Amino acid sequence: MRLTTIGVVGGGAWGTALASLAAADGARTPIWAREAEVVAAINADHANPMFLPGIALSPAIEAVATLNAMADADVLLIVTPAQAMGTVLAGLTGQAPRPLVLCAKGIAPGGRSMAEVAAAMLPGWPIAVLSGPTFAREVAAGLPTAVTLACADAALGRALCQRLARPAFRPYWSADVTGACIGGAVKNVLAIACGIVAGRRLGDNARAAVITRGFAEMLRYGLACGAEAATLGGLSGLGDLVLTCTGTASRNFALGFALGEGRPAATGRTIAEGAATAPVLAAAAAARGVDMPIVAAVAGLLDGAMTVDTTIARLLSRPLRAEV
């Protein structure tokens, strides 16, 4: 199985960090970026100051401005925001099918996972999902990181793990693509909730409760969608949940923190994907009859239907019940 050239579709912080991994052994690594200034900076200065300042990039990373320039890559890492993934994948139509490794974390309208979106857009292309507790800057800096790489094709999944693995970057293969997709999407919404708790100064006890009860919601929804409990309790579920609910570098946590303090969320080039996922996930859970009160509360806050204090009061006044 030839996986020599890895192409990265997306020139943000996470895409740039993954390109650094792929190029660590000197292999040519094309990376597509939407912003002309990102393409210019990577090619001229071997840096991406817009999204990953202070990180020196390998000269083997070659930025391109068109998706057609990725046609010779053996595998493509799709590292665009979840909300833009379908549009970007449409730009690959007509190219020869190759493995796609989806690195976006979100849920599309109708409750569709990123893998389901990709399969509909590019039928016949093998699909894998890379997910887990990953802050881009730490990965780019070579700090120890472990992730889940989910692929129904065991041979392809293991080959991708071998190609992406580095001394400080350890991918674990899983066959559960559904679980890997769901864990990464749900944790973004729960990270907003934990940010609200921190911004409102509700204490560490409350944050621990949100993480734990939020994981219970993730598990209920995932099992209803056919995911495996072991996957949701692994790196792409619980592991990613712990990171984004405790690490201040999380964009979703930062969004929630601002809401908890009563401030408008800061706007910038980076995206807190949990904000787009929350209403879609809440609707999908309701349609499946899955109880997700924390997710529903975040969705209500984001659309202005409830205030922070009202939301907290409602959650705390829910009827008492058995924990399991």
Which helix (H) or strand (E) element contains residue 107? strand 107-108
CA quadruple 291, 195, 16, 3: dihedral sign: negative
Any catalytic annotation for residue 187?
yes
| CA–CA–CA angle 132, 273, 262 (5° rounding) | 120
Q: CA–CA separation, 77 vs 208, rounded Å?
A: 34
Which helix (H) or strand (E) element contains residue 281? helix 273-288
Q: CA–CA separation, 139 vs 46, rounded Å?
A: 17
Which one, of 159, 117, 111, 171, lies nearest residue 295 by Cα? 111
- In the three-class reduction of DSSP (H, G, I as helix; E, B as strand; rest coil), residue 322 is classed as coil
Residue with tokens 């910038």: 268
User: Which one of the listed residues 187, 200, 207, 251 is annotated catalytic?
Assistant: 187
Cβ contacts of residue 120 below 8 Å, gap of 6+?
112
Determine phi and psi for 219, rounding to 5 degrees. -65, -45
Q: Which two tokens stand for residue 168?
A: 């400080």
Active-site residues, by number, are: 187
